[in-house]
Amino acid sequence: MLHRRLLLVLAATGLVLAGCATTPTAEQHPPIVFVHGNGDSASIWQSTVWRFESNGWPRERLHAIDLPYPLARDDDGKAQPGRTSTAEHMAYLKAEVEKVLQATGARQVVLMGNSRGGNAIRNYIQNGDGAARVSHAILGGTPNHGVWAIKGFREANEFSGTGPFLTRLNAPKNAAGDEVSGPVKWLTLRSDNNDKFAQPDGVWIGAKGTPTNVTFEGPALKGATNTVLPRVDHRETSFSPAAFEATYRFITGKSAQARTIQPETPVVLNGKITGLGLRPTDPASGNYSNNLPLPGAQLAVYATDAATGARLGNAVHSRTVGADGLWGPFTAQPGMQYEFVVSAPGYATTHIYRSPFPRSSNIIHLRADRPAEADKSAKSSTTLTRPRGYFDATRDKMSFDGKALPGVPPAGAGVSSSKINLSQDDSRPIAAEFNGEKITGRTWPMADGHLVVLELTY
């Protein structure tokens, strides 16, 4: 049966950030509020913020929000622990916009959302009195016509194209049939055919061969400027260089001068340490993500050798975080790779290896992790993750421990992490490369409660 076959696999998804020396007027550089997607956090906007800064946007006018519970409810109208409704999501965004307007003295903001974040933006502008407070709305990969559009199937979910939430948002606003509310200027960014949540076939939602009744054009909206970015994946509709250039041009009316992220010194980093919730109804079913601080978590930061992942001496920064979860500030050396070691009761000791940071950021969020049940028999477990995009074997040049990425299909961009479990006890380097970005970490023993993450920046 169709209803049994379709399984939704949603991928994603503080006032922050880093800046520049100029002080332009609000008209030149209006405040931008970035809204992450399902299951994500503010940290996913890190490279996008750097690109705006590299083109003169002041740090105090760039704000990425953290929805405390970033996952959508299964049924939007029914309370579900650890998840948010569309109404709660909109209320949170509305409150954050008001904070930004008050802090900056601006009359309006620009809103930029990825995936589910676009749902909150549309809901706020249309139903939350946001039209007067927003000048531009940019939606990257937002499933504006649903991830599926099947009568009778999970229509209470906010991602149903035939459900009440999207039906109301997409109702014609004028005689021309526009789906967007004025006088806001609207831009949608979508892939030509590589967005896993805008597919006519249900391959990426667990139902290969079953029509979703959604097309590649699903994120487009009548009445908006609709831009196609060839071969980008679901997340790259917001976080890729091409998405930045289209967004910058839409807001300013001109092309960005700096096409690459410009380095700065000093590089000062900060962010939150967050954890995972256990599903209350069935703890054995696993964890769910949240963006709540994890007070009492401990962090140690080590400079590492780029070739071997070995530590270059003692910790260069350490902290036990308080109620706000903040682990910094920490001044990083330009060009240096780092190992971030997060430990907290009830979690594995999580070793997160990162490539060098070119600029400062206050949204370097770190998540304590727990091992999956299936991985506990391994001697060591290392995950390669790409938060701002997916892996596409036909498009990307990549390797993990010297070979193809386990779990990544031969075509299509639908997987954003890959895991290697080893059966050897020895500690050794483990490296990954993705389109020129290289990270080398070291394996750590699962028996002693360690997990390893190689986290890509780009």
What CATH number does residue 302 fall under?
2.60.40.1120
Please check the confidence at residue 19 and state whether its pLDDT lies above 60. Answer: no
Give the residue ranges of DSSP H helices in 289-347.
none
Tell me which of 191, 222, 252 is where a domain ends.
252
Instruction: Name which of 363, 357, 369 is nearest 437 in CA terms.
Output: 357
Tell me which of 217, 252, 287 is where a domain ends.
252
In a domain, 359, yes or no: yes
Mind listing the pLDDT tens digit for each residue in 432-451? 999 999 999 999 999 999 99
Confidence of residue 285 (pLDDT cuts 50, 70, 90): very low
The terminus-to-terminus CA distance of the chain in angstroms comes to 40
In a domain, 263, yes or no: no
Q: Where does residue 177 rank: exposed (0-12), middle (13-18), buried (19+ CB within 10 A)?
A: exposed
Confidence of residue 7 (pLDDT cuts 50, 70, 90): very low
CB-CB contact of 75 with 63 (8 Å)? no
Average pLDDT over residues 110-121: 98
Please check the confidence at residue 211 and state whether its pLDDT lies above 50. Answer: yes
Residue 291 shares a structural domain with residue 245: no
Give the residue ranges of DSSP H helices in 105-257.
116-127, 164-169, 236-239, 241-252
Residue 243 shares a structural domain with residue 357: no
Residue 425 shares a structural domain with residue 362: yes
Residue 278 shares a structural domain with residue 317: yes
Question: What pLDDT does residue 286 have?
Answer: 55
Hunting for tokens 């997990």 — which residue is that?
451
Residue 241 shares a structural domain with residue 379: no
Beta strands 273-278; 366-367: pairing state = parallel
Question: What pLDDT does residue 278 have?
Answer: 62
pTM over 0.85: yes
Confidence of residue 426 (pLDDT cuts 50, 70, 90): confident
Between 217 and 27, whose confidence is greater? 217
Question: What pLDDT does residue 182 have?
Answer: 83
Between 9 and 113, whose confidence is greater? 113
φ and ψ at 207, to 5 degrees?
Answer: -145, 60
Mind listing the pLDDT tens digit for each residue in 263-275? 999 999 999 999 9
Looking at every residue in the chain, the average pLDDT score rounds to: 93
Tell me which of 188, 218, 252 is where a domain ends.
252
How far apart CA 235 and CA 387 sit, in angstroms, is 8
Question: What pLDDT does residue 3 have?
Answer: 41
Question: What pLDDT does residue 288 have?
Answer: 78
How far apart CA 129 and CA 97 sit, in angstroms, is 11
Tokens of 92: 């949170």
Confidence of residue 4 (pLDDT cuts 50, 70, 90): very low
Hunting for tokens 């304590």 — which residue is that?
368
Please check the confidence at residue 22 and state whether its pLDDT lies above 50. Answer: no
Report the b/e string of 396-417 with b at 16+ CB within 10 A. Answer: bebebbeeebeebeeebbbbbb
Instruction: Name the DSSP letter for residue 59.
Output: G
How far apart CA 166 and CA 173 sit, in angstroms, is 14
Beta strands 109-114; 207-211: pairing state = unpaired
Please check the confidence at residue 284 and state whether its pLDDT lies above 50. Answer: no
Share of the chain above pLDDT 90, in %: 89
Question: What pLDDT does residue 324 have?
Answer: 98
Question: What pLDDT does residue 280 have?
Answer: 52
Confidence of residue 25 (pLDDT cuts 50, 70, 90): low
In a domain, 258, yes or no: no
How far is residue 238 CA from its own chain's centroid?
9
Q: Domain span at residue 349?
A: 268-455
Tokens of 291: 């963006």
Task: Check the CA dihedral 175-178-180-186 and report its sign.
Answer: negative
Residue 218 shares a structural domain with residue 349: no
Query: Lowest mean pLDDT: which of 85-99, 215-229, 279-293?
Result: 279-293
The domain total for the chain is 2
Instruction: Name which of 136, 107, 366 is nearest 251 in CA terms.
Output: 136
How far apart CA 144 and CA 346 sit, in angstroms, is 39
Mind listing the pLDDT tens digit for each residue in 400-416? 999 999 999 999 999 99
Tokens of 228: 């196609």
Q: What is the CA radius of gyration of the chain?
A: 21
Average pLDDT over residues 240-254: 98
Please check the confidence at residue 24 and state whether its pLDDT lies above 60. Answer: no
